[in-house]
Amino acid sequence: MALKLQVNTERLVRELEHLASYSDTPPPAITRILFTKPDLEARAYLKELFQEAGLKVREDPLGNLFARWEGHAPELPAVGTGSHIDAIPYAGMYDGTVGVLGGLEAIRALQQAGFKPHRSIELLVFTAEEPTRFGIGCLGSRALSGALSPEALRALKDSEGNSLEEVRQKAGYTGPLEEVRLPENHYAAFVELHIEQGPVLEQEGVPLGVVTAIAAPASLRVVLEGEGGHAGTVLMPDRKDALCAAAEIILGVEAFARGSGSINTVATTGFCEVHPNAINSVPSRVRLEIDVRDVEQSRRDQVVRNILQGVEQVCTRRNIRYSVEIINMDPPAKSASEVLRALVEACGEASVRFKLMVSRAYHDALFMARIAPTAMLFIPCRGGISHRPDEYASPEDIARGVQVLALTLAKLSQA
């Protein structure tokens, strides 16, 4: 099978730039939060592009979007690809979007080359890979894989108290959530193209990463309740300052990760909400959200245990009431050998050097791996920077990734 593929890099970059225009913050900062106006407009734009490419579009009741290129054998499990388009506050324009529009370009390149898939090829846009609105990442892929039940979805509320139920129905997604979970064997294989979001490929001068595993993420929510009061009149011995307790906990999070014995452990307190957040008022309540990851699940779990113990110690000593919620504690995912093989062969056909590597960021592939043989393909990003407005991937690197993705999808669709 000697496929002559022509990736239309100019069109792809134009579409990425257009997609970036759907944002709640001025460029180059992208903010696109689940079911807000920019998210809904971006979805409408994508559906148009998918239809123009002759793909059959379907959306599930949670807003996961599927665009299917029917194969000769539509009854066989399909080959999936895709990623997400939601963006955390003040993000860049490549995280997720490269896997969506790159997936579309891969399909168009195959169509243009006269390729006809045997298994159908299905492009996915997952709902809310980012945890911004409902506090948990990979909402769509968790639900598709059955890792998050309809009951658990119905219990979710955003920080303004809106339930996921209300929010999705307002956005036009009204069907029963019971229909979201995919039937067994829906996909024969799944492969996600994504920017690396780290510095390894650029530093080593390697144009592609073939991902063999995804690190295990966990996240915790800690609510601390002390006692508020006037900053001038409550004397220091009488204080129960929730923010001072939070400060100790945050430093503990850092220390536990640093002390794990491995460079692969990371922990971040990326969210801190203070009440009432006024200079002349003693903080009475603080909400923290803590993210812990490691390629080794047992080491990650030990750090989580240390953090829980640390919270208890700090709060007992400072006389602060607290509650801890474990939002998620997911195992790592291992890539499937047959998808890895297809990726490696595709790199060979395209004469592109690659590196086998681990993903330290999580992706929808983490959950797709539970229901289909899965792997990922990384392209370099400048300085390893991501989740920032200055995130950048070059058109050449994106095009190379798309070409190898297309060759991989072709192989998997014939298998």
Residues contacting ligand GLV: total by CB under 6 A: 5
Contact 375, 339 (CB under 8 A): yes
Q: Does 125 bind Mn ion (CB under 5 A)?
A: no
Q: Which is nearer to ligand GLV, 42 or 346 (CB)?
A: 42
Q: Which is nearer to Mn ion, 29 or 243 (CB)?
A: 29
Euclidean distance between the first and final Cα of the chain, in Å? Answer: 13
Nearest residue (beta carbon) to ligand GLV: 361
> What letter would DSSP give residue 397?
H
Contact 387, 91 (CB under 8 A): yes
Q: Which is nearer to Mn ion, 19 or 361 (CB)?
A: 361
Tell the smallest beta-carbon distance from residue 129 to Mn ion (Å): 5
Q: Cα dihedral sign for 5, 192, 15, 382?
A: negative
Q: Does 95 bind Mn ion (CB under 5 A)?
A: yes
Per-position DSSP letters for 57-109, written without gaps between them? EEE-TT--EEEEE--S-TTSPEEEEEEE--EEEEE-S-TTHHHHHHHHHHHHH
Per-state percent for the chain, helix, strand, coil, to nearest 5: 35, 25, 35
Tell the smallest beta-carbon distance from residue 86 to ligand GLV (Å): 9
> What letter would DSSP give residue 332?
P
Q: Strand 321-329 to strand 216-225: parallel, antiparallel, or no bridges (unpaired)? A: antiparallel
Q: Does 366 bind ligand GLV (CB under 6 A)?
A: no
Q: Is 387 annotated as a binding residue?
A: yes
Q: Which is nearer to ligand GLV, 218 or 222 (CB)?
A: 218
Q: Is 325 annotated as a binding residue?
A: no
Tell the smallest beta-carbon distance from residue 47 to ligand GLV (Å): 23
Tell the smallest beta-carbon distance from residue 69 to Mn ion (Å): 23
Residue 130, number of CB atoms within 10 A of its CB: 23
Binding string, 128-167, against ligand GLV, x = CB under 6 A? -xx------x------------------------------
Tell the smallest beta-carbon distance from residue 271 to ligand GLV (Å): 12
Could you say which of Mn ion, ligand GLV, none residue 140 binds, taking C-beta under 5 to 8 angstroms by partner kind?
A: none
- The angle, 0 to 180 degrees and rounded to 10, between the axes of the packed helices 395-414 and 97-112 is 60
Could you say which of ligand GLV, Mn ion, none residue 102 binds, taking C-beta under 5 to 8 angstroms by partner kind?
A: none
Interacting residue with ligand GLV among 16, 246, 361, 372 (CB under 6 A): 361
Tell the smallest beta-carbon distance from residue 310 to Mn ion (Å): 27
353, burial (CB in 10 Å: exposed 0-12, middle 13-18, buried 19+)? exposed
Residue 232, number of CB atoms within 10 A of its CB: 7
Q: Does 362 bind ligand GLV (CB under 6 A)?
A: yes
> What letter would DSSP give residue 157?
B
Q: Does 198 bind ligand GLV (CB under 6 A)?
A: no
Tell the smallest beta-carbon distance from residue 130 to ligand GLV (Å): 5
Q: Does 63 bind ligand GLV (CB under 6 A)?
A: no
Q: Does 361 bind Mn ion (CB under 5 A)?
A: yes
Amino acid, single-letter form, for residue 217: P
C-alpha–C-alpha distance, residues 212 and 197, integer Å: 16
Q: Which two tokens stand for residue 2?
A: 């000697």
Q: Which is nearer to Mn ion, 86 or 241 (CB)?
A: 86
Q: Is 84 annotated as a binding residue?
A: yes
> What letter would DSSP give residue 169?
H
Q: Which is nearer to ligand GLV, 137 or 209 (CB)?
A: 137
Per CB under 5 A, residues contacting Mn ion are 95-96, 361
Per CB under 6 A, residues contacting ligand GLV are 129-130, 137, 361-362
Residues of each annotated binding site for Zn(2+): 84, 95, 130, 194, 387
